[in-house]
């Protein structure tokens, strides 16, 4: 079992509580090994760590204005790619009408953040209404489609070859940040059953960034029930 060196120490003028009661005239910088997880040290500087005047090279910070970007298209796979690497990809998509096909991401799990709009998401697990401010987590391999009642602007974030998890909240407990009770899941209701027709449906599957189309003589969103904990969930920023 690997164990990292854990030797908490304090030197010079510091705060005994991170992010609070900073020594007068100092600026805090957090240096961690794994982002917000694992070992970390807070360094208190005399000048702002962000006070640079020039930056050259690929790590230069950038701000992107995508307001004028044409993000429309019939499927999420036509959405404009924004940023990505081997672990994560982000896309911007505007969905203006009901999807005429089903999407399945076999490359990883997705989070849909609804910037604007409202409507219904139909998926393997049932129907889930959505509104602005919603985060919707789609497990890898989920079949889904949107039926917007208002034009919907979304940010799509893919966890490539992975999924989305909650952080270890430690002493704060499982109810910190948000209570798991506020997580909503799809319902197999009358509206979901009504769309279970024998009309032909296409499923567009993304795998290794290539698309395959599977055709069914019926709507494969025909679940009669489900049980388990690998499921679509929704939380709104208003509940955080």
pLDDT in tens, the chain (240 residues): 667 777 888 999 999 898 999 999 999 999 987 776 778 899 999 999 999 999 999 999 988 888 888 888 889 998 888 999 999 999 999 999 999 999 999 999 999 999 999 999 999 999 999 999 999 999 999 999 999 999 999 999 999 999 988 877 777 777 778 888 899 999 999 999 999 999 999 999 999 999 999 999 999 999 999 999 999 999 999 998
Q: What is the pLDDT of residue 73?
A: 86
| DSSP-derived secondary structure letter, 13 | S
Q: What is the pLDDT of residue 8?
A: 84
Contact 122, 223 (CB under 8 A): no
Q: What is the pLDDT of residue 32?
A: 87
Q: What is the pLDDT of residue 142?
A: 98
161/87 Cα distance (integer angstroms): 7
CATH superfamily membership of 76-186+224-239: Jelly Rolls (2.60.120.10)
Q: What is the pLDDT of residue 91?
A: 95
Contact 154, 95 (CB under 8 A): yes
Q: What is the pLDDT of residue 1?
A: 60
Percentage helix, strand, coil, to 5, in the chain?
5, 40, 55
Contacts of residue 188, defined as CB under 8 A and 6 or more positions apart, other chains included, come to 125, 126, 127, 223, 224, 225, 226
What does the domain layout of the chain look like in residue ranges?
14-50, 76-186+224-239
Q: What is the pLDDT of residue 104?
A: 98
Contact 158, 96 (CB under 8 A): no
């Amino acid at each position: 079992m690997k164990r990292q060196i854990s030797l908490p120490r304090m030197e010079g003028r510091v705060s005994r509580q991170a992010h609070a009661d900073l020594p007068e005239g100092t600026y805090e910088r957090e240096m961690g090994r794994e982002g917000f997880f694992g070992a970390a040290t807070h360094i208190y500087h005399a000048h702002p760590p962000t006070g640079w005047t020039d930056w050259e090279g690929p790590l230069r910070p950038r701000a992107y204005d995508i307001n004028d970007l044409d993000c429309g298209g019939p499927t999420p796979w036509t959405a404009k790619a924004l940023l990505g690497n081997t672990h994560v990809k982000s896309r911007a998509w505007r969905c203006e009408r009901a999807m005429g096909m089903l999407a399945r991401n076999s490359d990883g799990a997705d989070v849909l953040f609804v910037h604007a709009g409202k409507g219904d998401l139909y998926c393997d697990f049932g129907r889930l209404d959505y509104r602005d401010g919603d985060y919707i987590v789609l497990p890898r391999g989920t079949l889904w489609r949107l039926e917007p009642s208002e034009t919907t602007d979304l940010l799509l974030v893919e966890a490539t070859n992975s999924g989305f998890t909650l952080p270890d909240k430690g002493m704060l407990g499982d109810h910190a940040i948000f209570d798991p009770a506020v997580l909503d899941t799809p319902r197999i209701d009358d509206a979901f059953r009504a769309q279970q027709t024998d009309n032909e449906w296409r499923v567009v599957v993304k795998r290794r960034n290539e698309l395959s189309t599977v055709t069914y003589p019926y709507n494969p969103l025909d679940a009669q029930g489900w049980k388990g904990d690998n499921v679509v969930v929704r939380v709104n920023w208003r509940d955080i």
